[in-house]
Chains A and B, each alone.
Chain A
Amino acid sequence: MELTRLTAAQLSAALAAGEVSAAEVTRAHLDRIAATDAKVHAFLHVAADAALAAAASIDQRRASGERLGPLAGVPVAVKDVFTTAGMPTTCGSRILDGWHPPYDATVTARLKRAGAVILGKTNMDEFAMGSSTENSAFGPSRNPWDLDRVPGGSSGGSAAAVAAYQAPLAVGTDTGGSIRQPAAVCGIVGTKPTYGGSSRYGVVAFASSLDTPGPFGRTVLDAALLHEAMSGHDPMDSTSIDAPVPPVVAAARAADVSGMRIGVVAELSGEGYQPGVTSRFAEAVELLESLGAKVTEVSCPHFRYALPAYYLIAPSECSSNLARFDAMRYGLRVGDDGTRDAEQVMALTREAGFGAEVKRRIILGTYALSSGYYDAYYGKAQQVRTLIIRDFEAAFGQVDALVSPATPTTAFGIGERADDPMAMYAADLCTIPSDLAGNAAISVPCGLAPEDGLPVGLQVMAPALADDRLYRVAAAAEAALTERWGQPLLRQARGLDA
């Protein structure tokens, strides 16, 4: 039994049955990381000792007869944006070099409480700003399908770790597509839950009104298991929703779309979309129809303004959120040689500690919030946001779920878009509307683009708090497609195990 090839659900069953120990499962994944991460660079920090200790404790508890949850003993990789007591947290930035947070994020704490074994912290675009991990101060992660290509971002390290069988599960955050876009281009499943469905407490903020923690898995069921374990109301996060977690695991098991009304978003297609993406997406829609869904085309006319609105709102919030990195209390401090005052040390530290994309967005956001410009930029963007929410409301008045490609293209080459911010931003074209509206969306693999043999993601979008619909649609598509392919899509990835 090759433990790293098992899904989280399979590992959970084997652990519960006593066929394997958590220590064995953990060691197998740590070995896999040791063997492959020089190529993939999914991790910024591997917490081998802590992981083995946590695994041993789970084994002990199980041996003593304690009833444990489904994730007990299952390894999980954590994006380096979640605070972790006892492990560094850098957000892919030099400015947090050497910072060991004194507290666990709510998601971290819930994973620990569920008995999940945290393997380490995964690479990301600096402060979650980017779509490729190339903005990480510690170098990019690589796509397990093709090591010369990006794994997407910003949660690229988490996606690459799961796609490279280094971890069966990983958590990430989605602000403009940072879970779904890497999931799509790495050929795995990634969910952006309803905003407020999973706690942001301990998630180092990029854009507070958008940031949403969510799960990665190689299967829809695995993503649902993690989704359920990490979610739920948290009084420490005022924007957390005080409502039960939608029944995502049951929905993933049901995998049934018969009678569901599914809308294809007209605006998320056409120019700028890679032909192979468009054709695989069309096939997926036909497949859903063949499974009993009623498919119609739906128009969301304001989606075309989503990207510019996002690039005003997210930078505005980040310009304020990132102000706290000033060398006074933690992290990097530059120029404190006794000759400079606090203001100079702040400036030198921020100059040295932030990368180019972070600085670009801080400047953009500072400008957009400035007196005299606020109404024209931040204010206008918020109005657009309202229009996008209304588009969704109108669409969900007609259909139960919306679908589109998760990304306009498959994984692009490392360095290909690094000097072209607009091309980089376009990678999130399909994912941003759900972030602006705060509703739920998932990306599930729907095949390989014929022209480059790289995975394509099907995005499913659902109203807020209807996250379970995502899993019903995605699991139905996954089951039918896997049957068609004869094996999970990821088995065709040849970047690592050619």
Chain B
Amino acid sequence: MTVSYEEALQRYEPVFGLETHVELGTRTKLFCGCPTAFGAEPNSQVCPVCLGLPGSLPAVNRMAVEYTIRIGLALNCTIARWCRFARKNYFYPDMPKNFQISQYDEPLCTDGWLDVVAGGTTVRVGIERVHLEEDTGKSLHVGGATGRIHGAEYSLIDYNRAGIPLVEIVTKPVPGTGFLAPGVARAYVTELRDLLRSLGVSDVRMEEGSLRCDVNTSLSARGSGAWGTRTETKNVNSLRSVERAVRSEIERQAAVLDAGGRVVQETRHFHEDTGVTTGGRSKEEAQDYRYFPEPDLVPLAPPPEWVEKIRAALPELPAARRARLQAEWSLSDLEFEALRNAGAVDAVEQTVRAGASPADARKWWLGELARRANDAGVEVVSLPITPADVARVAELVAAGTLSDRLAREVIDGVLDGEGPPDQVVAARGLAVLSDEGALAAAVDEAIAANPDAAAKVRDGKVAAAGPLVGAVMRATRGRADAARVRDLILQRLTGA
């Protein structure tokens, strides 16, 4: 039995929450001096500490703590005056010590919020906690159907990733978003990604796994007030997947509940290809991680002066920047959201900075360029044209050197790799014909070649000027300004 999303929402109210893991962009690992660069030869960025060799001990990377505090402050959290690392104990071959150094009941940052905009409404997502922990190594299970350890022929482990600092950001449950829930979930991760980038703490490359999400979802019967059992969906590793995973769980859980069943508290696995989740470990027989305070590390007690210094040095955050730009560009909420959804805010800002008016910059990126990106199936900002190019095109149009039609041809040339706009204009000979003598000659030729039309115009049938204008435009290969041509023809034939 399946239940459509719309049906599900008629009967149930979804509540979701997100746990997001972000790899910090520190130069070295969390507890040793090994480099963190992505893509190195497997097991080439390791030492006794991150391999967990007997006798080795961790020493905390100060920069990782600073980055975590930066994130906590940007998320309006309280920064702990005193907190500890804890060991999370479980056996897995890619975990060198068979425990992970994490934080448990004493996270570094607690109780914050992040405002996100979805469907024109602003939702305040509560932040439960932000904590710091070490990443595990990476397993590659070879053979077997599932790509998982069970059934694999053999497994390879790359410990380069072991010990890379990870920050876990956990939201409070987000109720009351109804139909918007999947969109709000996506908007939250998008906003978080932008925030992390602006803070300079991570480059957040989702395709490299530097940001990974677990999505908790539950349903409660409308009006019941009681929250349902939640599931945790893992492997949600793109913005689109976040949205799909919430939607898919809402539909699945609604079907279970409609059939009189009960939702099992469990970990589910999201499949990018099908967009659905499948069951995994049941939380009801959950592992006991036997957390206890990490005895190899002294408590973390960031001095308040340090925290205030970090706060003072925070860059302009995305929300503030957006408010500023929206005001500077005089855009409505919806206009601005359209710009955000296209991912073109930065491009417009840079185009404006390169000299274009905000209206022009927005027009080009959201109009012509967005259309081409859409045709090519790519993001608008990944088109091979720079904001400076766009600004130059806008400038040429404003100066009358290019008509809109010519400008589109210039864009063609830039996108085809023919060089910057001026080079394309020169190479393709696209500048508007401004030589009055040449233009007058072209008008005379057109009148001479179309005596019937000319006669009608002389008789006062102004509409008959069209074919004459067309002839001039043809003769000048479109480089003339059509309005100017029309004026010249009327002048010549009627003296007007």
| A interface with B by C-beta (< 8 Å) | 82-83, 89, 91, 96, 99, 101-103, 105, 200-205, 207-209, 235-239, 316-317, 319-320, 323-326, 328-330, 341-343, 346, 366, 369-371, 374, 378
| Contact present for B55 and A201 (CB under 8 Å) | yes
Encoded as 1 (CB less than 8 Å from any A CB) or 0, chain B from 378 to 417 comes to 0000000000000000000000000000000000000000
Distance between A162 CB and nearest chain B CB, rounded to angstroms: 23
Q: What are 14 A-B contacts defined by CB distance under 8 Å?
A: A89-B54, A101-B48, A105-B55, A201-B55, A205-B55, A236-B59, A238-B57, A239-B297, A323-B91, A323-B99, A324-B54, A346-B91, A371-B290, A378-B292
| Contact present for B54 and A343 (CB under 8 Å) | no
Q: Contacts of A103 on B, CB cut-off 8 Å? A: 48, 53, 55-56
Would you list which residues of chain B between 135 and 151 have a CB under 8 Å from chain A?
A: 149-150
> How many contacts A-B (CB < 8 Å)?
103
Cβ of B478 within 8 Å of any chain A Cβ, yes or no, is no
* A286, B458: Cα distance in complex, Å: 137
Q: Contacts of B48 on A, CB cut-off 8 Å? A: 101-103
Instruction: Given the known inter-chain contacts A83-B55, A91-B54, please indicate yes or no for A343 contacting B295, CB distance below 8 A.
Output: no
Cβ of B493 within 8 Å of any chain A Cβ, yes or no, is no
Distance between B326 CB and nearest chain A CB, rounded to angstroms: 47
* A366, B289: Cα distance in complex, Å: 10
Distance between B341 CB and nearest chain A CB, rounded to angstroms: 45
Encoded as 1 (CB less than 8 Å from any A CB) or 0, chain B from 46 to 90 comes to 001001111111111000000000000000000000000001010
Cβ of B97 within 8 Å of any chain A Cβ, yes or no, is yes
| Contact present for A208 and B59 (CB under 8 Å) | no
Cβ of B206 within 8 Å of any chain A Cβ, yes or no, is no
| Contact present for B57 and A96 (CB under 8 Å) | no
What's the tally of chain B residues with a CB closer than 8 Å to chain A?
31
| Interchain CB contact (< 8 A) of A202 among B56, B59, B149, B297 | B56
B57, B99, B296: residue with the most chain A Cβ atoms closer than 10 Å? B57
Encoded as 1 (CB less than 8 Å from any A CB) or 0, chain B from 317 to 354 comes to 00000000000000000000000000000000000000
Instruction: Given the known inter-chain contacts A208-B295, A239-B298, A370-B290, please indicate yes or no for A323 contacting B89, CB distance below 8 A.
Output: yes
Cβ of B288 within 8 Å of any chain A Cβ, yes or no, is yes
Distance between B323 CB and nearest chain A CB, rounded to angstroms: 43
Would you list which residues of chain B between 148 and 171 have a CB under 8 Å from chain A?
A: 149-150, 155, 157
Q: Contacts of A371 on B, CB cut-off 8 Å? A: 288, 290
Distance between B376 CB and nearest chain A CB, rounded to angstroms: 46
| Contact present for B292 and A320 (CB under 8 Å) | yes
Closest to B54 in A: A204
B98, B157, B288, B290: residue with the most chain A Cβ atoms closer than 10 Å? B290
* A200, B296: Cα distance in complex, Å: 9
Would you list which residues of chain B between 273 and 288 have a CB under 8 Å from chain A?
A: 288
For the complex of A and B, the 8 pairs showing the least CB-CB separation, nearest first, are A323-B98, A208-B295, A369-B290, A209-B295, A202-B55, A204-B54, A83-B55, A371-B288
Q: Contacts of A378 on B, CB cut-off 8 Å? A: 292
* A301, B472: Cα distance in complex, Å: 110
Instruction: Given the known inter-chain contacts A320-B292, A342-B149, please indicate yes or no for A237 contacting B98, CB distance below 8 A.
Output: no
* A103, B290: Cα distance in complex, Å: 30
* A18, B79: Cα distance in complex, Å: 62
Distance between A39 CB and nearest chain B CB, rounded to angstroms: 30
Q: Contacts of B295 on A, CB cut-off 8 Å? A: 207-209, 239, 317
Q: Contacts of B59 on A, CB cut-off 8 Å? A: 235-238
Closest to B58 in A: A238
Cβ of B175 within 8 Å of any chain A Cβ, yes or no, is no
Encoded as 1 (CB less than 8 Å from any A CB) or 0, chain B from 293 to 321 comes to 00111100000000000000000000000
Cβ of B35 within 8 Å of any chain A Cβ, yes or no, is no
Cβ of B93 within 8 Å of any chain A Cβ, yes or no, is yes
* A103, B291: Cα distance in complex, Å: 29
Closest to A196 in B: B298
Distance between B237 CB and nearest chain A CB, rounded to angstroms: 25
* A421, B91: Cα distance in complex, Å: 29
Q: Contacts of A374 on B, CB cut-off 8 Å? A: 290, 292
Distance between B171 CB and nearest chain A CB, rounded to angstroms: 24
Distance between A84 CB and nearest chain B CB, rounded to angstroms: 10
Q: Contacts of B60 on A, CB cut-off 8 Å? A: 238
| Contact present for A320 and B54 (CB under 8 Å) | no
| Interchain CB contact (< 8 A) of A238 among B52, B98, B298 | B298
| Contact present for A343 and B57 (CB under 8 Å) | no
Q: Contacts of A319 on B, CB cut-off 8 Å? A: 89, 290
| Contact present for A366 and B56 (CB under 8 Å) | no
Q: Contacts of A346 on B, CB cut-off 8 Å? A: 91
Encoded as 1 (CB less than 8 Å from any A CB) or 0, chain B from 88 to 110 comes to 01010100111100000000000
* A341, B149: Cα distance in complex, Å: 8
Closest to B60 in A: A238
